[in-house]
Amino acid sequence: MKQHKVAKIPRASRWSRSARWASPPTESTPEQASPFQIYSPLIFSLFYFIGPFYSGLGGWQLAVVLVVFVIQVYLYHMMAVAKRKDVVGIAVAASIALGFVTAPLNHSSYSFYWFCAYFAAFTFNRNTALLVFVCILAAVVITAEQHGYHELWYYLPVIIPTLGLLSYGFYDKQAHIHAQAQRKSQDEIEQLAIVAERERIARDLHDVMGHSLSTIALKAQLADKLGKAGDAEAALGEIREVAAISRDTLSEMRSVITGYRARSLEQQVERLVQSLKDWNYQVDDQLQLPQLTAQEESALVLVLTEAITNILKHCQGSRVSLRTQTSPEEQPDADWALYVEDNGRPEQVEVGNGLSGMRERLENIGAQLQIDTQNGMKLAMYFHRQAEVPA
């Protein structure tokens, strides 16, 4: 039995995206990221020191600039790893306020506005993020008016990167939402695959065990009758066959569970035909099967096993025919067909686990099953692919 494998959809972590700013956590638990992935965007914070470098600050002023830088880095840390939106909001507000207050001392304090714009866009809804952007613009304009920074060299390095990272934050948020939706969809697909696999295993065991146990039960009854009739040797022969069938069943069940069948399709068919002959059925075996894939062979073995089991249990006939035919007239669109027919007296056909399992298996390999109860039971299986089967 071949295992169905579901192609896994990559689970994107907001920390693991290449060349992107560290993203703030949402209410869900984030996947872990390395410290490098979280803090590497701080390389852009070095723009913070452009102002002090050209202004030639020294002494206590330089000490204040360094302390503010450390505080801003800590606020960045809060924005990047906090698991609550309100904590991110506090860190964003504090970072903007600190940059605004220290602007007279360091006109490059705007560099941390960039981070605030990105984290606001990623964490909050659009209106809140735009409000944060307006606050940043207000801080920039007020600072420029108070201290005479009217040149483009002040506005452009603030507004363009801030606007760019705000837009990127919106995009990144949508990408993260999409990744979460993919992860949820992947989990659902995996769960459905597990359920489908359990149902398939149950059908396999039903098909294999149903036939074998039915044969064992019939042979045990025959052995009992022979024993009561005084034919001990014949009864022992039936018991030995029951033991052999039991061993074969155990081996076949293991093959079903592991997904590997040691017997070829021809050997399986021979075993099924022999089980019919053991019960005095006249078998007309004209099967000339084409080259099949492993999936088709596995499905066909189980379908034939179920069909023969139903004959042994319900047929009440004496003849069984197994044959193949290319281009069946009754199904012009089929490439070849396989027929299982008997001359029994079938009762009203009810679609139970056996017949429904047969139909599902054939549909999985692109085939169809039709049932005809006129003049016995006839199962017709139509396959829609070319096969070199003699007419």
For residue range 268-321, list pLDDT tens digits in order: 788 888 888 888 889 999 988 888 887 788 888 888 888 888 888 777 788 999
Q: What residue type is 48 in one-letter code?
A: Y
Provide the domain count of the chain: 2
Closest CA relative to residue 222, chosen from 279, 156, 284: 279
> Any residues with CB less than 8 A from the CB of 198 and at least 6 apart, and which?
none
- Which string of b and e fits 239-259 if b means at least 16 CB within 10 Å? bebbeebeeebeebeebbeee
pLDDT for the residue numbered 1: 37
Q: What's the CA gap between 106 and 309, in Å, rounded?
A: 89
Q: What's the CA gap between 341 and 323, in Å, rounded?
A: 9
Q: Domain range for residue 83?
A: 35-150
Phi-psi region of 327 (alpha: psi -120 to 50; beta: other; left: phi over 0): left
Phi-psi region of 310 (alpha: psi -120 to 50; beta: other; left: phi over 0): alpha
Q: What is the mean pLDDT of each successive set of 10 residues along the chain, which is 391 residues long?
A: 38 37 42 70 79 71 84 88 87 88 79 86 89 88 78 76 86 85 73 70 72 82 86 86 83 65 69 85 88 82 86 83 89 89 73 74 89 86 66 45
Q: Classify residue 70: in a domain, yes or no.
A: yes
pLDDT for the residue numbered 4: 40
Q: What's the CA gap between 142 and 250, in Å, rounded?
A: 85
- Which string of b and e fits 273-306 if b means at least 16 CB within 10 Å? bebbebeebebeeebbbeebeeebbbbbbbbbbb
Beta strand ranges found along the chain (DSSP E): 282-286, 319-326, 336-342, 367-372, 378-383
Query: Residue 338 is part of a domain; what is its CATH number?
Result: 3.30.565.10
Q: What is the DSSP letter of 44?
A: G
Question: From the CB of residue 7, how many other CB atoms can be counted at a distance below 10 Å?
Answer: 6
Q: Classify residue 238: in a domain, yes or no.
A: no
Q: Starting from the edge strand earliest in sequence, which strands make up the sheet with 378-383, in order?
A: 282-286, 319-326, 336-342, 378-383, 367-372
Classify 370 as helix, strand or coil. Answer: strand
Closest CA relative to residue 293, chosen from 390, 194, 385, 198: 385
Q: What is the DSSP letter of 231?
A: -
Q: Classify residue 280: in a domain, yes or no.
A: yes
Q: What's the CA gap between 350 and 380, in Å, rounded?
A: 17
Q: Classify residue 163: in a domain, yes or no.
A: no
Q: Classify residue 248: in a domain, yes or no.
A: no
pLDDT in tens, 228-277: 888 888 888 888 888 888 888 877 777 666 554 445 678 778 888 888 88
Q: Tell me which of 84, 119, 150 is where a domain ends.
A: 150
Q: Tell me which of 150, 181, 199 is where a domain ends.
A: 150
How many Cα atoms occupy the beta-carbon half-sphere of 271 within 13 Å? 21
Q: Tell me which of 150, 170, 185 is where a domain ends.
A: 150
Angle (CA) 384-255-371 rounded to 5° is 35
pLDDT for the residue numbered 321: 92
pLDDT for the residue numbered 10: 39
Q: Classify residue 268: in a domain, yes or no.
A: yes
pLDDT for the residue numbered 323: 92
Q: Classify residue 195: in a domain, yes or no.
A: no
Classify 118 as helix, strand or coil. Answer: helix
pLDDT for the residue numbered 316: 78
Q: Classify residue 160: in a domain, yes or no.
A: no
